[in-house]
Amino acid sequence: MRFKGRTAGWLALGLTTLLAAWWNIPTRAQVEAVDKVGQIAPKMDARQMLQRELPLLGTEMMWTSPEWLPVGKPQVYLAQGIPFLRVMAEEEEWNDSDKPVARTDRVVDSVYQPQADPHEEVKPEQVPGLGQFRLWLPAGQKVPLVGIYNTHTSETYRLTDKTDKVPGEKGGVFAAASALAEELSSRYGIGVVQSQAIHDENWLLHNPYANSAVTARQMLEKYPDLQLLIDIHRDAEVPRENSVVKIQGREAARIMLVVGTNSRGNHPSWQKNLAFAQQLAKQIEQQYPGLVRKVMTKPGRYNQHLHPRAVLIEIGSTSNSTAEAEYTARLLAKMVADVVKK
């Protein structure tokens, strides 16, 4: 169908207005809007702002939908058809993923004692592969000592896949996680359990961190001897010159360790997680100078409240290749093995 003249103009104006309105919606629900004559208007939420610009959005059908659509989230609809908005929506999901959750779990150094959490209900059908684990056990070892999973399983590397995500599939970060697991098992004799779940298949509708929290709990319940819990990611837009380093003559993806705090939820042992991440980073830098970009703390918990040695590791960024990430994962295995063997 082709639109001409006024029809095309009105469509372009409507889309531009909608985008402009959406663009200016902060992540927080309430904002102070400035009206056309510069007066401070009453506080309005995201829905009211859009309705003021486009009256059509005041109709009920625009804000009610089948259960598989996110009611009241117009940015989700736009993100489906406008690629650059997907990045912004993902960032919003990242920021909102750690809102306080009522928990009574107690975490101690030697034993994890899980308890049910009714506030994080995850339906198995919304997470492909949930509860499926691959065991990497060297000869003579009966239980794994390291647990590995990917909260954003579909994240991948642009140099290899020409895209940042492979929705509904296992991306380059899963390959990096597998390389780490294989190296720990085959070279260093450390047993590993690796999740096969795709936690972010419906990332616009369901919180990947709630999904991966289920996986982390299942791992800890099934394998209580786990000493480390590692969530492998890749960073977003980092210039290649800051995201790659030569190690032993080969290009490796640089890493960043992310540690959650107690700013948004109960996480009394977060400083233990931080101390562990800092020590791990120090060991990596001593062995492979330049491989670590930094250790960063963030307000969320990132499931690290489940274990005092839980860490989120960003291997490379969108500007790396899967091969570079896998190489880094194999380098990282030595330091992980050293931690376990101490």
Query: 131-158 pLDDT, tens per residue?
Result: 899 999 998 888 999 999 999 999 999 9
Buried-exposed string 173-186: b where 16+ CB fall within 10 A, e elsewhere = bbbbbbbbbbbbbe
What confidence score (pLDDT) does residue 337 get?
Answer: 96
Distance of CA 276 to the CA centre of its chain: 20
Q: What 3 state SS string does the chain have?
A: CCCCHHHHHHHHHHHHHHHHHHHCCCCCCCEEEECCCCCEEEEECHHHHHHHHCHHHHCHHHCCCCCCCCCCCHHHHHHHHCHHHHHHHHHHHHHHCCCCCCCCCEECCCCEECCCCCCCCCCHHHCCCCCCEEEECCCCCCCCCEEEECCCCCECCHHHHCCCECCCCCCHHHHHHHHHHHHHHHCCCCCEEEECCCCCCCCCCCCHHHHHHHHHHHHHHHCCCCCEEEEEECCCCCCHHHHEEEECCEEEECEEEEEECCCCCCCCCHHHHHHHHHHHHHHHHHHCCCCEEEEEEECCCCCHHHCCCEEEEEECCCCCCHHHHHHHHHHHHHHHHHHHHC
With a CB cutoff of 8 Å and minimum separation 6, the contacts of 183 are: 329, 330, 333
pLDDT, tens digit, for every residue of 161-219? 999 999 989 999 999 999 999 999 999 999 999 999 999 887 666 689 999 999 999 99
- Torsion angle of alpha carbons 240, 244, 250, 255, nearest 10°? -150
User: Is pLDDT at 265 greater than 80 in this prediction?
Assistant: yes
On the 0-12 / 13-18 / 19+ scale of CB atoms within 10 A, 237 is exposed
Domain with CATH 3.40.630.40 in the chain: 106-341
User: Is pLDDT at 98 greater than 50 in this prediction?
Assistant: no
Phi-psi region of 128 (alpha: psi -120 to 50; beta: other; left: phi over 0): beta
What rounded mean pLDDT belongs to the chain? 75
Average pLDDT rounded to a whole number, residues 14-18: 57
Average pLDDT rounded to a whole number, residues 256-262: 94
What confidence score (pLDDT) does residue 17 get?
Answer: 53
Average pLDDT rounded to a whole number, residues 66-70: 37
- Of 137, 129, 316, the residue nearest 211 (C-alpha): 129
What confidence score (pLDDT) does residue 342 get?
Answer: 79
Q: What CATH number should be reported for the domain whose range is 106-341? A: 3.40.630.40
Q: Which residues pair with 112 in a beta bridge?
A: 107
Q: What is the pTM of this model?
A: 0.68
